[in-house]
Structure 1
């Protein structure tokens, strides 16, 4: 279920040390540089045009030896490709271990922000469900004889997106249940979460367990349950890797089937340790779970297949087309939002990953970013995206306190707080086209762009 800020985490021993907000080359030996050069990528003309001092700043930013000569710097930085030319993203997260502890951050947040209220949570859920019912009723009027036929081509997509967005908010409340932030009562949390997620065709406990492992291992190259970064040997052909058309096709695939079956059935973006093993969220014997979880997985499957049976029954009674218009297409919008939101929370050119002794839970929790989808969607999504840094540090904090807490947290974090104001679609394109792989020979890494 995630640690939720329950433990005080002490920073690991400092193999990096800060110089302003940049990183010195404390842990990068000349042998590391030689290894990088031996697997070199030809520097682009834009990179070759950079002044040497600018190259040194870039090297420090990404954890490399800035004292190297110009030719070596060009070879070291060449794999970052167009990432080095970006001007539309915030500064990278500092690689130096944070000079504060989790206890320091917790002390900066008012105590009432950690209080969970069953009444308040049910109020927000009731508001969502009323809105779902209202939108469903309004959709029944789209086919009314007084509604112009041509307008239906606009009204139905508008309904699908609006209903899918509100149902994403319902999904987020079930997500709160999985973190035990819905109320102080575990049984109530799990019952409400099971009902809501089952209704949205999500195996609740299976997701709850794997999502908790994601929170416990965020930013880890080896163990992040969802967003383990690919390495060079995972990459496709270089031409396809950088083809705008291929990237667009892959984004569309990710946003349509990335959640189901991509994540739930195959855990497609999970860590390499699961390769060759069964990692389905529906299998009680999956590598994702331990033997003690099996009963919960079975209950999750029961909830999922009961809901699926309800969908099939509705199709026999009202027709597939009707069920598709009222439920299945909004359900696809929910899945689209889940993938878009979570991908952008953990993938970008300024977010590092760690392995070995460089990784710790606290450093990993800082490897996420706050993004706004606009005030209306932020409200509809219960601020899961624009307060995500707070959520990873204190996952048991209710969403209705997260905005207030975030104001205090970002002051306490200073340069370790990541927020990106890049428009969502621009950020998605930047992240998907530039964040291709990470090195395997270093313990603190940023995404690279060019592999050959």
Structure 2
């Protein structure tokens, strides 16, 4: 991703720089056919055998990590910091492998695992249920994310709040934000003296501690909260909006029993964990399963957040959005060659996935090279180190304006 570094000496310069970003943004005009034609035919081929090979590889890695952890308590004293370090290492490493397994379940939901829908759904059900994800329920809601990716109000993946939803002061000036619609300016007005102000509406909310706690809470609870209690962008929440409620707006009537099947499968895994806790001890279940499970969810929310959020990439409203334009707002980010491989390239080759989701992960890197020629400057990638990118994005991407066809994230 091309990043423009600006030295800001005043609040007026800061506002002007954001106006320039809006005015300089070019909305792409390529078609899905252009994308498809650029990708070699073999990249569309799905090998069930090869996919099972990656599945067995992930299960082997998970098994070896668990076996290695079984020696920790036998070889270290309970009060030794070495024991805590060893368990911490296991939790982190196992979360890597578990996240990779999660991605294979995600591929099953797109039928990228196999051309056989039965095989993909059967494998996906087993994988995601083992990770306490209701397979069909998540599959249905995730498909809606793909259909509306990059749309300001319809995309359910990390949708930005509006300025008005945060209770920030209304804008006071007009400027042309993009070629499709006029919006207000980027500055707030101090009602006491009429001067323009920038920055969050609360100094407390701008404090490092508040920002860090907010980020930790979001990363650690986002996935579970999303599954249990809420799917963003719903305008009418008269019912419990949940992946476990077949009667909520997420699902159609013909998906009713599939949602129940997914819930039953997750319930069976939870029951198995309770049984294991009674037989083996709750501490065993906590150390071997629960902690890695929580960290896997952190990876899921972290990766998806950075795939679709950046201060340099806008969201489109209905006056501008179409599928290919929305997909071009996806961002490829590398986590290093080892994690990219373990994560099955879900992060470093995600743009192409949003154009053609049935391409298996083992072809996505090659396919990405070919679509770059079509996307040109509209191919988004960012090599910023992940920790820095995460913190910068969390600080700078607080909301978008209430009006505008092309709306960039802001924090003031």
Q: TM-score, normalised by structure 1?
A: 0.79
Output one character per residue of 1:128-162: Cα deviation in whole Å (capped at 9) or x when no partner. 10111111111111122478944211110000111
2-structure distance, mates of 1:392, 1:146: 47
Please report the RMSD computed on the Cα atoms of aligned residues, expressed in angstroms. 1.9
The question of whether the paired residues in 2 share the 8 Å contact of 1:438 and 1:447 is answered with yes
Deviation at 1:319, TM superposition (A): 1.1
2:208 counterpart (223, 241, 244): 244
1-structure distance, mates of 2:389, 2:205: 18
The question of whether the paired residues in 1 share the 8 Å contact of 2:307 and 2:333 is answered with yes
SS at match of 2:235: helix
CA pair 332-302 structure 1, distance change in 2 beyond 3 A: same
The question of whether the paired residues in 1 share the 8 Å contact of 2:157 and 2:308 is answered with no
Q: Flag structure 2 segments of 5+ consecutive residues without an equivalent.
A: 3-7, 168-200
The question of whether the paired residues in 1 share the 8 Å contact of 2:315 and 2:408 is answered with yes
1:341 counterpart (303, 310, 315): 303
Note if 1:215 corresponds to 2:175.
Answer: no
Q: Which residue of 1 aligns with 2:398?
A: 436
The question of whether the paired residues in 2 share the 8 Å contact of 1:217 and 1:224 is answered with yes
2:63 counterpart (120, 123, 133): 133
The question of whether the paired residues in 2 share the 8 Å contact of 1:176 and 1:398 is answered with yes
1-structure distance, mates of 2:116, 2:248: 28
1:318 counterpart (280, 302, 307): 280
Q: Which residue of 2 aligns with 1:264?
A: 227
The question of whether the paired residues in 2 share the 8 Å contact of 1:226 and 1:267 is answered with no
The question of whether the paired residues in 2 share the 8 Å contact of 1:365 and 1:389 is answered with yes
SS at match of 2:254: helix
Output one character per residue of 1:153-185: Cα deviation in whole Å (capped at 9) or x when no partner. 111000011111101100000000001100000
SS at match of 2:128: helix
CA pair 221-145 structure 1, distance change in 2 beyond 3 A: closer
Q: How does 1:174-189 map to 2 (within 5 A)?
A: 174-189=105-120
2-structure distance, mates of 1:49, 1:427: 24
Q: How does 1:28-39 map to 2 (within 5 A)?
A: none
Q: Which residue of 2 aligns with 1:193?
A: 124
Deviation at 1:244, TM superposition (A): 2.0
Q: Which residue of 1 aligns with 2:161?
A: 230
The question of whether the paired residues in 2 share the 8 Å contact of 1:224 and 1:271 is answered with yes
2-structure distance, mates of 1:340, 1:130: 25
1-structure distance, mates of 2:314, 2:18: 14
2:43 counterpart (113, 132, 136): 113
Q: How does 1:247-396 map to 2 (within 5 A)?
A: 247-260=211-224, 262-267=225-230, 270-396=232-358
2-structure distance, mates of 1:439, 1:146: 55
CA pair 274-162 structure 1, distance change in 2 beyond 3 A: farther
Deviation at 1:119, TM superposition (A): 0.3
The question of whether the paired residues in 2 share the 8 Å contact of 1:128 and 1:166 is answered with yes
CA pair 212-243 structure 1, distance change in 2 beyond 3 A: same
2-structure distance, mates of 1:239, 1:291: 47
The question of whether the paired residues in 2 share the 8 Å contact of 1:351 and 1:367 is answered with yes
Q: Which residue of 2 aligns with 1:99?
A: 29
1-structure distance, mates of 2:307, 2:131: 22
Output one character per residue of 1:333-377: Cα deviation in whole Å (capped at 9) or x when no partner. 100100100011111101111112211111111111000111111
1:170 counterpart (101, 109, 118): 101
Q: Flag structure 1 segments of 5+ consecutive residues without an equivalent.
A: 1-20, 22-43, 64-93
The question of whether the paired residues in 2 share the 8 Å contact of 1:226 and 1:271 is answered with no
Deviation at 1:247, TM superposition (A): 1.2
Deviation at 1:265, TM superposition (A): 1.0
The question of whether the paired residues in 1 share the 8 Å contact of 2:76 and 2:83 is answered with no
Q: TM-score, normalised by structure 2?
A: 0.86
Note if 1:142 corresponds to 2:102.
Answer: no
Deviation at 1:222, TM superposition (A): 1.6
The question of whether the paired residues in 1 share the 8 Å contact of 2:76 and 2:82 is answered with no
